[in-house]
Amino acid sequence: MQLIPAELVRQYKRAMLNIHPALLPNFGGKGLYGGRVHSAVIGSGARFSGPTIHFVDEGCVPRFYSRVPVHCSLADLHGPLLCCVSASSGCLLDMVPQLLPCK
């Protein structure tokens, strides 16, 4: 994973969204992307996970985000949790027009 250059982020402020496969601010940061996120959630014993959508900014901490929690049990394996979180992402995508500024 690489950060988007700050110049590009400033040029497209509040125009780029990121969907993270876990509930931020937990399970975010360096090295937590893709399947690593789900493994970290399961390994922590967390009761909930789910996708987070946020505007891309110059920092690593999103300033605005929306989340859709999904229940996960300790018996969940990486595959079932991934499917559940991915399915929940559709709810967030439906919210995108409400997040963007009116022109």
| Domains of the chain (ranges, CATH numbers) | 6-97 (3.40.50.170)
pLDDT tens, residue by residue, 41-93 = 888 888 888 888 888 887 766 666 777 777 776 455 666 777 777 777 777 77
7 — pLDDT class (breaks 50, 70, 90): very high
Residue 20 annotated as catalytic = yes
Q: Which of 20, 38, 54, 78 is catalytic?
A: 20
List helix spans (H) across 1-103.
Answer: 6-11, 35-44, 78-99
Containing 65, the helix (H) or strand (E) segment is: strand 65-67
Name which residue leads in pLDDT, 27 or 97: 27
11 — pLDDT class (breaks 50, 70, 90): very high
**In whole angstroms, what separates CA 28 from the centre of its chain?**
8
Position of tokens 């090295």?
31
